[in-house]
């Protein structure tokens, strides 16, 4: 018995039209029953009612829901009946009529328009971002490397990331802080994380800062965007290195900044400028390890840069993206640490130290800029995930961060040595390696410049994909070279890739016309 009863009830509930959008105005001149009639009619006119959802609520339910008398409802419904919008089924209720009035059928029918083929309207801001990619090329991320492709620059060994430790710490912080980690949270970032990072940066990067100067961000790109938006007006000038990390140029263009490329010499960014050149308001540099050339900025250039910034009221944006991985000589302190004039905006990221997908980074801002940075973050996306921030804080305070860096430095040093040795053996006839003191990439200069296009073609065919150095150049006219990554692959994989490349190049040498024809 209860079973039989529950079935039709269920069906009825599903099929009743809700009329949730009806709003009756008791102060209006129009009588309530007229308002109700008109709004129900208009909703029926939307034409979205199929056989399965064409039942009206009972007059009692409608009256209660809308807070009017049943007679008001009856008046409205009787008019709809009279005009042919509704039909009654004795014992079942009131339904939308099967054959609707002529006016009802035609009233709001969408007009058929001739399709107009015109290009989508895209903002100047989007157009101004220098990015030739299209469609799913964006889905491969900044490195453009699909799975299975090897020796791509800038990729860390994410398979060495201690997932089990991270998961344990994540569970611990969730158990301890519970729902507090599920709420909107600080725009500055988790306070424990800011304390832990300040201690780490002072001890290991020679920085001079306190937790109040730190703003947690979603990686280096966001650090750049926030900094540019906070200290530069549209149209003002930022200097960037040339060649440069290509995302820097894109981010600064997004911020509406005029980007001026500056050459790199053996000391780092070249500061000299012609009197016609506008003065920069911000100077983007990678002093620990220039990307992509690998130059470490000399002490003299560091002090010159700081003097220049002080003299011309410019800020220096120090991108310290992979300084932890230095293989030769003692670690060099950050530029921020020798800045006495609050000129340096220092930024770091966990993308290389841990993994890029965490999207966590940090800005150390001169005290007087912090509030503006936080203001922009709050208008942008509020904050990074509190759960991941709290987990990272614990990961650092419990010593896993330092031990992971140490372990990875060792792994990377071994891979780097192995790569250099194998590369010189297998490909030394075609390339000269420029071995940097730090970082996860190595530049290989071509011995025969004319081979560049052929090698580019072959590398993309065989899935061994170093980037052409020219890809990172804006105005710089450098000799042809490729930037190889070595960090994310085991020695066996490195050897396999280099052997594959060497033999593809050898075969190309035997049949030089083949590769060129297929290009
Ligand atoms: C110079 C430079 N800065 C920063 C990053 C990393 O940025 P993010 O923290 O946005 O992943 C990279 C990655 O390759 C880089 O080459």
Which of 246, 296, 322 has the most ligand 1 atoms within 8 A of CB, as the residue to mutate?
A: 322
Residues 429-478 have pLDDT tens digits of 999 999 999 999 999 999 999 999 999 999 989 999 999 999 999 999 99
Q: How many angstroms is it from 346 CA to the middle of ligand 1? A: 14
Q: How many angstroms is it from 257 CA to the middle of ligand 1? A: 19
Residue 4 has pLDDT above 50, yes or no: no
- How high does pLDDT run on average in the chain? 90
Residue 252 has pLDDT above 50, yes or no: yes
* CA nearest ligand 1 atom 16, residue: 245
Q: How many angstroms is it from 325 CA to the middle of ligand 1? A: 14
Q: How many angstroms is it from 246 CA to the middle of ligand 1? A: 9
Residue 79 has pLDDT above 50, yes or no: yes
Residues 377-427 have pLDDT tens digits of 999 999 999 999 999 999 999 999 999 999 999 999 999 999 999 999 999
> What pLDDT score was predicted for residue 104?
54
DSSP 150: B
Average pLDDT over residues 197-209: 97
Confidence of residue 116 (pLDDT cuts 50, 70, 90): confident
Which of 220, 226, 360 has the most ligand 1 atoms within 8 A of CB, as the residue to mutate?
A: 220
Residues 118-130 have pLDDT tens digits of 888 999 999 999 9
Check if 245 has its Cβ closer than 6 Å to any atom of ligand 1.
yes
Residue 147, CB-side half-sphere exposure with 13 Å CA sphere: 1
Could you check whether the bond before residue 273 is cis, i.e. omega within 30 degrees of 0?
Answer: no
Confidence of residue 511 (pLDDT cuts 50, 70, 90): low
Check if 348 has its Cβ closer than 6 Å to any atom of ligand 1.
no
Q: How many angstroms is it from 451 CA to the middle of ligand 1? A: 30
Average pLDDT over residues 298-319: 97
Check if 361 has its Cβ closer than 6 Å to any atom of ligand 1.
yes
Check if 220 has its Cβ closer than 6 Å to any atom of ligand 1.
yes
Whole-angstrom Cα distance, residue 106 to residue 45? 9
Whole-angstrom Cα distance, residue 468 to residue 207? 34
Average pLDDT over residues 84-106: 76
Ligand 1, atom nearest to 350 Cα? 9
Residue 231 is inside which H or E element, if any? Answer: helix 220-231
> What pLDDT score was predicted for residue 11?
44
Tally: H helices and E strands in the chain:
17, 14
Residue 14 has pLDDT above 70, yes or no: no
> What pLDDT score was predicted for residue 20?
80
What pTM did the predictor assign? 0.82
In this prediction, what percent of the chain has a pLDDT beyond 90?
73
SS3 of 353-364 = CCCHHHCCEEEE
Check if 246 has its Cβ closer than 6 Å to any atom of ligand 1.
no
Confidence of residue 102 (pLDDT cuts 50, 70, 90): low
Of 380, 371, 255, 239, whose CA–CA distance to 315 is shortest?
Answer: 239
Check if 291 has its Cβ closer than 6 Å to any atom of ligand 1.
yes
Residue 515 has pLDDT above 50, yes or no: no
Residues 19-78 have pLDDT tens digits of 888 889 888 888 999 999 998 888 887 766 655 668 889 889 889 988 999 999 999 999
């Amino acid at each position: 018995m209860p079973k039989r009863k529950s079935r039709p009830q269920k069906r009825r509930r599903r099929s009743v039209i809700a009329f949730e959008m009806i709003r009756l105005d008791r102060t209006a001149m129009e009588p309530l029953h007229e308002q109700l009639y008109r709004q129900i009619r208009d909703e029926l006119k939307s034409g979205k009612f199929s056989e399965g959802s064409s039942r009206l609520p009972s007059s009692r339910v409608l009256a209660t829901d809308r807070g009017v008398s049943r007679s008001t409802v009856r008046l409205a419904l009787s008019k709809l009946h009279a005009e042919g919008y509704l039909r009654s089924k004795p014992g079942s209720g009131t339904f939308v009529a099967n054959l609707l009035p002529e006016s009802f059928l035609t009233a709001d029918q969408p007009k058929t328009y001739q399709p107009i083929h015109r290009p989508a309207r895209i903002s100047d801001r989007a157009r101004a971002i220098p990015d030739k990619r299209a469609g799913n090329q964006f889905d491969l991320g900044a490195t453009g490397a699909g799975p299975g492709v090897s020796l791509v620059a800038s990729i860390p060994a994410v398979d060495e990331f201690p997932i089990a430790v991270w998961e344990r710490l994540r569970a611990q912080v969730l158990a301890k802080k519970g729902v507090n980690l599920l709420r909107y949270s600080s725009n500055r970032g988790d306070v424990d994380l800011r304390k832990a990072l300040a201690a780490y940066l002072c001890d290991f990067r020679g920085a001079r800062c306190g937790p109040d100067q730190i703003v947690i961000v979603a990686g280096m790109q966001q650090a750049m965007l926030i900094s540019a938006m906070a200290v530069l007006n549209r149209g003002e000038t930022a200097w960037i290195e040339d060649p440069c990390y290509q995302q820097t140029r894109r981010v600064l263009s997004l911020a509406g900044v005029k980007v001026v490329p500056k050459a790199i010499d053996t000391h780092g960014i070249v500061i000299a400028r012609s009197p016609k050149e506008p003065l920069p308001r911000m100077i983007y540099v990678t002093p620990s390890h220039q990307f992509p050339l690998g130059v470490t900025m000399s002490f003299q250039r560091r002090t010159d840069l700081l003097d220049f910034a002080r003299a011309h009221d410019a800020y220096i944006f120090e991108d310290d993206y992979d300084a932890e991985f230095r293989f030769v000589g003692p670690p060099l302190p950050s530029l921020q640490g020798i800045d006495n004039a609050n000129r340096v905006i220092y930024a770091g990221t966990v993308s290389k130290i841990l993994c890029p997908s965490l999207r966590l980074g940090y800005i150390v801002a001169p005290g007087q800029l912090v509030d503006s940075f936080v203001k922009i973050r709050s208008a942008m996306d509020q904050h990074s995930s509190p759960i991941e921030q709290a987990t990272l804080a614990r990961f650092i305070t419990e010593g896993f961060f330092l031990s992971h860096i140490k372990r990875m430095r060792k792994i990377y040093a071994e891979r780097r040595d192995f790569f250099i040795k194998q590369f010189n053996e297998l490909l030394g006839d075609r390339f000269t390696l420029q071995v940097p003191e730090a970082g996860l990439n190595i530049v290989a200069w071509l011995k025969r410049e004319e081979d560049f296009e052929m090698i580019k073609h072959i590398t993309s065919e065989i899935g061994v994909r170093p980037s052409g150095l020219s890809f990172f150049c804006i105005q710089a006219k450098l000799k042809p070279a490729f930037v190889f990554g070595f960090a994310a692959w085991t020695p066996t994989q490195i050897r396999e890739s280099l052997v594959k490349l060497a033999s593809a190049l050898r075969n190309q040498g035997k049949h030089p016309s083949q590769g060129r024809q297929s290009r």
